[in-house]
Amino acid sequence: MKLSLRHARSNRGFTRIDAGAILAVCSLLLLLVWPVLASNQIASNQIASTGISCLGNIGQLTRAWQLYAADNNEELVGNFRFQETGQTISAGTFLNWTHNNMDWSTNPSNTNRTLMARSRLFPYLQNTNSPFKCPADQFLSSIQRNAGWTSRLRSYSMNGFLGPNAAATNDVSYRGENWMVPGYRQFIKTSAIPSPARTYVLIDEHQESINDGYFITDPTRISWVDVPGPFHNGGSGISFADGHAEIHVWLSPVVDPFRPPTAGQRTDQLWLAERTTVRHNVMAVRKAASGAKVVWSPSTSNHRLQSNTDLETTEWTAVTDAPVKGYGQVEVTTANEASAKYFRLVTP
């Protein structure tokens, strides 16, 4: 009988005393975990906030990059290497997109806003407070902190295949070639970029990698040369030639750029390399007034341009308009090819 009574009572569920005890335990647990939850929420909000600010800054710089080219007959702004950046500063010509070389010393170049204002992009900027800086990059050396510094001035670098790499016009970049990877195109004019939406312009650079404003990614190798900065929860701010910007999260963010790359880092490097440049015979095609403008490189190319209206046929017609050569590219405007839908390059 006692067993039956106990069993019958258990079917009634929790008593008020049971419920009160459970509520007290849950309240205690909530008090214990609340600081952690609040801290995580604050951290998430901070990551989101710096990411939005980064996209605003890098997007503004990219818009300035576009406007500069539009005002200069499609010619891209200078994107000089370290030594050449120093030379244009010494000469007082200030031909580069940035004149602030970064290092871990107390060299004034790290914080010199006068040099920042001499950027060829500066006149096109709406907000000139900190457009060259990702707010998530607060890295400083002990020497810089001891000197009272709060931050360095720049954390973005530019795709090394965009723009001339020196002031001297005999530099290989003016031939549409990159000094490190000659088999790939150096873009000197916007018209030479085949896919603006898949060609990056600016990127967060790793605090241990950044020096000049020239970011090099070698498409022929599967390891980093310059290294992206994982400032946004393992991701980098990155902008593209069509004007859009995004936070790209890497599979394996680089903690130490001087260690051999992991498999994930090699995949990341390939992703960026595919959005860096193209081989010389890849065509860039734009609409023209009564046809199309077709651009390829280098200027010494002996390729011949042909067009076709339907890929189901095997008949290709030679484009007879005289090519224009210069800036490391061949440019043909097909005034009589309004109906052409497809183009190809052939060699004699």
3-state secondary structure the chain: CHHHHHHHHHCCCCCHHHHHHHHHHHHHHHHHHHHHHHHHHHHHHHHHHHHHHHHHHHHHHHHHHHHHHHHCCCECCECCCHHHHHHHHHHCCCCECCCCCCCCCCCHHHCCHHHHHCCCCHHHCCCCCCCCCCCCCCCCCHHHHHCCCCCCCCCEEEECCECCCCCCCCCHHHHCECCCCCCEECECEHHHCCCHHHCEEEEEECCCCCCCCEECCCCCCCCCCCCECCCCCCEEEEEECCCCEEEEECCCCCCCCCCCCCHHHHHHHHHHHCCCCCECCCCEEEECCCCEEEEECCCCCCCEEEEECCCCCCCCEECCCCCEEECCEEEEECCCCCCCCEEEEECC
**In this model, does residue 112 exceed pLDDT 90?**
yes
**In this model, does residue 13 exceed pLDDT 70?**
no
pLDDT of amino acid 175: 92
Mean pLDDT of the chain: 86
| Tokens (6 digits) for 138 | 């607060």
pLDDT of amino acid 115: 96
Separation between Cα atoms, residue 208 and residue 211, nearest integer Å? 9
Integer angstrom CA distances of residue 231 from 81, 238, 255: 24, 12, 11
pLDDT of amino acid 338: 57
- Predicted model pTM: 0.84
**In this model, does residue 282 exceed pLDDT 80?**
yes
pLDDT of amino acid 310: 83
pLDDT of amino acid 20: 60
pLDDT of amino acid 329: 92
For 154-186, how does the pLDDT look when each residue is reduced to its tens digit (9 = 90+)? 999 999 999 999 999 999 999 999 999 999 999
**In this model, does residue 34 exceed pLDDT 60?**
no
> Can you tell me the mean pLDDT for 96-119?
96
**In this model, does residue 141 exceed pLDDT 90?**
yes
> Can you tell me the mean pLDDT for 63-83?
97
> Can you tell me the mean pLDDT for 9-36?
56
pLDDT of amino acid 214: 97
Pick 337 or 308 by higher pLDDT.
308
**In this model, does residue 10 exceed pLDDT 60?**
no
For 318-345, how does the pLDDT look when each residue is reduced to its tens digit (9 = 90+)? 888 888 999 999 999 887 655 678 899 9
pLDDT of amino acid 291: 81
For 207-242, how does the pLDDT look when each residue is reduced to its tens digit (9 = 90+)? 999 999 999 999 998 889 999 999 999 999 999 999
> Can you tell me the mean pLDDT for 30-36?
51
pLDDT of amino acid 128: 84
Max mean pLDDT range (4-13, 31-40, 239-248, 337-346): 239-248
**In this model, does residue 11 exceed pLDDT 60?**
no
